[in-house]
Amino acid sequence: MARLLRAIGHWLEDRTGLWSVSRRLAAHPVPPGTDWRYVLGGATLVAFLLQVATGVALATVYVPSTGSAYQSLQFITHDAPFGRVLRGMHYFGASAMVVLIGAHMSRVFLTGSYKFPREMNWLSGAALLLLTILMAFTGQLLRWDQDGVWSAVVASEQAARIPALGHWLAHLVLGGETVSGPTLSRSFAVHVFIIPALIFAGVGLHLYLVLRTGVSERASIGPAVVDPATYRAWYRNLLDREGQPFWPDAAWRDAVVAVLVVGTVLALALIVGPKPLGKPPDPTTIIASPRPDWYFLWYFAVLAILPRGIEPSVIVLAPLLFGLAVLLLPLVANRGRRTLRHRPWAVIVVAAAVFTIAWYSRLGVQSPWSPDFDARPLTTQAIASSDSAVVAGAALFHARGCEYCHAIDGQGGSRGPDLTDVAHRLNHPQLVARILGGGNIMPAYTGKLSSTELAQLVAFLQSRRDSPK
């Protein structure tokens, strides 16, 4: 039996040569010191393959129709065997892919590995980053609950801001002039056919380039200055002298990380479960508070706090400038020193990016700019007065919507200033002027309040001195 199998093996190898080719590729030499800092790209690939496997499984049940998608997702989540864990893995797998591609890109940037002759490695990676972002976005849309529907609207509105091409792009995203049947169908095709095909091609190119140019050596053992005239010969010499076979000398670390990635995603899928489906996807249900998935929340927050005057240009220019910077980096900075000691700005850029994303993500969760639609009328303890004008003013404070944006004793929204002790800051004429005239982000209440109501509201606000508990 063993002899027969060996004979079949020999025959296959003789006719295809696949085994020897694979062995030669797997054993390509890598520089000495290829350590744990080199596992992030492989980890990203593992996350992508995880997405392919779980995505294909989900696609065998998911129905890409606006009439049935939501029901098919409920079936997957609640009834199908393994459905809940598969959706969970696909959700956390997406998060892993976004996090890991960001980490991989940061590592390559910090170690200056994008320099000569690896410029195209960086650029193909940048294309893969863009495709990953598009996957994250279309995936959120395919959930086709209320947030999914509104993310289609928000995306087309953002696309529409682009000069000249904007409306075309928006109608391409929607598959028409409004959110309708084609919106979901085409997002599905983009998410499962078009972008994955491009990612496979991009990964193929990226890996081919890694094999062709070789993994970058650690900056500490490399030449002090990357010089295109001498680098290639120096690198070839390094590999000839001290190169180690990728398989298994370096690959075992990738295997460890692959198990960690899959294990973490599986554990989160089992313990936390998939992102719950929101309300049904009815575009006419307008009592909705759309929020993007966590990886877009920071950008959602940025769009909320930009001053009105500069917002229209920032919304178009910021992504454009980021793209341009990523594109130009390896072209203008492809030589010179790689060590961090000589490139402190690289640390600053990465730290600033991480800080910005973390800071605005947190702000996005809190959404202090959103009106508090659930604000309850102020309690008697909060009002702390028996004066009839003050009590009537407190009722108006809630009824006329002041409380959506202003808090008193912790009740109410945080869009506008806390008014718990506003009487210390503003006197009677100032209060009247502010209420009637509005402000930068506050509506003017002229014509919305009778003179009695205005007097009651001001009486209430003037009673807001030392916060009564």
Could you list the residues that contact other proteins (CB under 8 A)?
65-68, 149-150, 153-154, 156-158, 160-161, 166-168, 170-172, 174-184, 186, 280-284, 286-290, 300, 303-304, 306, 308, 311-312, 369-371, 373, 399-402, 404-405, 415, 438-444, 448
The secondary structure of residue 118, as a DSSP letter, is -
**Greatest CA separation for the chain:** 102
Alpha-carbon separation of residue 62 from 80, 83, 258, 427, 437 (angstroms):
11, 11, 28, 61, 53
Chain CA centroid to CA 202, Å: 20
Rounded to whole angstroms, how far apart are CA atoms 159 and 177?
A: 13
In whole angstroms, the minimum distance from the beta carbon of 325 to other proteins comes to: 25
E strand segments, 20-115: 29-30
Q: Helices 388-399 and 451-462 sit at what angle, rounded to 10 degrees?
A: 100
In whole angstroms, the minimum distance from the beta carbon of 451 to other proteins comes to: 17
What's the N-to-C CA distance of the chain in angstroms?
86
Q: Which is nearer to other proteins, 254 or 293 (CB)?
A: 293
In whole angstroms, the minimum distance from the beta carbon of 280 to other proteins comes to: 7
- Say which residues have a Cβ less than 8 Å from residue 136's Cβ, sequence separation at least 6: 94, 97, 98, 293, 295, 296
Query: Is the preceding peptide bond at 32 cis, omega within 30 degrees of 0?
Result: no
Cβ atoms of 105 and 125 closer than 8 Å: yes
In whole angstroms, the minimum distance from the beta carbon of 67 to other proteins comes to: 3
Cβ atoms of 33 and 218 closer than 8 Å: yes
Q: Which is nearer to other proteins, 13 or 157 (CB)?
A: 157
In whole angstroms, the minimum distance from the beta carbon of 393 to other proteins comes to: 14
Q: Which is nearer to other proteins, 26 or 317 (CB)?
A: 317
Q: Helices 294-305 and 83-110 sit at what angle, rounded to 10 degrees?
A: 60
In whole angstroms, the minimum distance from the beta carbon of 197 to other proteins comes to: 13
Rounded to whole angstroms, how far apart are CA atoms 59 and 71?
A: 14
User: Which helix (H) or strand (E) segment is 323 a member of?
Assistant: helix 311-332
Q: Which is nearer to other proteins, 134 or 304 (CB)?
A: 304
Q: Which is nearer to other proteins, 263 or 437 (CB)?
A: 437
Q: Which is nearer to other proteins, 157 or 242 (CB)?
A: 157
Q: Cβ–Cβ contacts within 10 Å for residue 351, how many? A: 11
- Token readout for 338 is 């790689």
In whole angstroms, the minimum distance from the beta carbon of 69 to other proteins comes to: 8
Q: Which is nearer to other proteins, 181 or 263 (CB)?
A: 181
Q: Which is nearer to other proteins, 170 or 265 (CB)?
A: 170
In whole angstroms, the minimum distance from the beta carbon of 172 to other proteins comes to: 7
